């Protein structure tokens, strides 16, 4: 049986004051578990962008972190408005952000492309009116 | 170059993190857009920004930046200072504008960490 570490977290939507806490915690855990610094940084950046998306758009989300000797897998499953056109949402510069979100330095339409860029494997699924699920995988070797 | 040299060059006030002024500064980036910083900065970079909120600090922490210089004399509130202290990120404030501050550091030999795919350029310094 292989070594496997797994942990779940909750992100609350519209809670801007806590935005970034889950990704900070995941970053700390991965460092503690001895994951290489450049890999920790990629996972942290992808998770932080996803966390900002949840805070900005969704009601809440469950985040699951899974670490095996081969890879790190982060699943962000939110209850929220969903994304009608995923292909459009993946385009750099496309955004539905409000001015409040932009004032935080986000909402420029770079979040999802940034997440993909930092992932070795990236899956996105969404149902309008129900929520969006992201699966981010980063290989360790 | 270390952070205290940046402090001198940009006439900075040290808002918090005075104990980290010996941190090396080898390259920098400048943006008010945190997604840009997350996408294009390298670890250990210096960030110049006019965006002053807790997300600025979070971004610096996640992207492992060495320090933040706030431009145009912007003053952070208590929450921002507290977050910077907690994350051990030195926070400096310069009276210069973003453009001027970047120019001064670039001329002093600090190249850019941001390599834009469009430019195909590697970090370089013009004197």
Which residues of A fall within a CB distance of 8 Å from B37?
A: 105
Check A24 against B58: CB less than 8 A apart.
Answer: yes
pLDDT at A123 over 50: yes
pLDDT at B127 over 60: no
pLDDT at B126 over 80: no
Is CATH 3.30.565.10 the classification given to domain A5-139? yes
What is the Cα B43 distance to its own chain's centre? 12
Check B55 against A104: CB less than 8 A apart.
Answer: yes
The alpha carbon torsion through B74, B80, B84, B86 (nearest 10 deg) reads 160
- Angle among Cα B108, B110, B115 to the nearest 5 degrees reads 145
In order of A91, B49, B77, the CA distances from A109 in angstroms are: 7, 19, 28
Residue entry with tokens 């941001």: B114
Render A58-120 in DSSP notation, one character per residue. Answer: -SEEEEEEEE-SSEEEEEEEEES---S-HHHHTSTT-----HHHHHTT--SS-HHHHHHHT-S
Give pLDDT, residue B19: 98
Total CB pairs under 8 A between chain A and B: 65
> What is the predicted ipTM?
0.90
Q: Are A78 and A132 in contact (CB under 8 A)?
A: yes
Residues B68, B80: Cα–Cα separation, whole Å? 12
The domains located in chain B, with CATH, are 3-107 (3.40.1390.20)
Q: Does A105 touch chain B (CB under 8 A)?
A: yes
Residues A109, A113: Cα–Cα separation, whole Å? 8
pLDDT digits 0-9 by tens, A61-80: 999 999 999 999 999 999 99
Residues A91, A112: Cα–Cα separation, whole Å? 8
pLDDT at B83 over 60: yes
Check B38 against A108: CB less than 8 A apart.
Answer: no
pLDDT digits 0-9 by tens, A20-55: 999 999 999 999 999 999 999 999 999 999 999 999
Q: Roughly how many angstroms between the first and final C-alpha of chain B, as a whole number? A: 17
Residues A109, B36: Cα–Cα separation, whole Å? 10
Q: List all residues 6 or more positions away from B53 whose beta carbon is below 8 Å from its beta carbon.
A: A103, A104, A105, B80
Instruction: Tell which residue, B58, B74, B102, has the closest CA to residue A106.
Output: B58
What's the alpha-carbon Rg for chain A, to the nearest Å? 14
Q: Which two tokens stand for residue B124?
A: 């370089």
Where residue B125 falls among pLDDT bands split at 50, 70, 90? very low
Strand order in the sheet with B28-30: B13-16, B91-93, B67-70, B46-49, B28-30
Name the residue facing B62 among A27, A37, A113 (closest C-beta): A27
């Amino acid at each position: 049986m292989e070594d496997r570490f797994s942990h779940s977290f909750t992100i609350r939507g519209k809670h801007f004051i806590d935005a970034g806490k889950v990704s900070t915690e995941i970053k700390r855990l991965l460092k503690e578990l001895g994951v290489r610094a450049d890999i920790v940084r990629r996972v942290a950046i992808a998770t932080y962008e996803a966390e900002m998306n949840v805070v900005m758009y969704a009601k809440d989300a469950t985040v699951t972190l899974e670490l095996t000797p081969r890879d790190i897998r982060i699943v962000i499953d939110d209850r929220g408005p969903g994304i009608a056109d995923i292909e459009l949402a993946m385009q750099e510069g496309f955004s539905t952000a409000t001015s409040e979100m932009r004032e935080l330095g986000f909402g420029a339409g770079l979040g999802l492309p940034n997440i993909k860029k930092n992932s070795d494997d990236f899956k996105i699924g969404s149902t309008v009116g129900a929520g969006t699920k992201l699966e981010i995988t980063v290989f360790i070797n | 170059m270390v952070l205290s040299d940046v402090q001198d060059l940009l006439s900075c006030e040290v808002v918090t993190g005075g104990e980290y002024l010996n941190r090396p500064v080898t390259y920098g980036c400048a943006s008010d857009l945190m997604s840009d910083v997350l996408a294009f900065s390298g670890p250990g970079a210096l960030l110049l920004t006019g965006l002053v909120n807790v997300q600025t600090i979070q971004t610096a922490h996640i992207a492992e930046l060495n320090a933040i210089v706030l431009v145009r004399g912007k003053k952070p509130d208590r929450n921002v200072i507290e977050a910077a202290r907690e994350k051990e990120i030195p926070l400096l404030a310069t009276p210069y504008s973003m453009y001027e501050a970047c120019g001064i550091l670039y001329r002093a030999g600090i190249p850019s960490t941001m390599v834009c795919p469009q430019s195909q350029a590697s970090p370089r310094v013009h004197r």
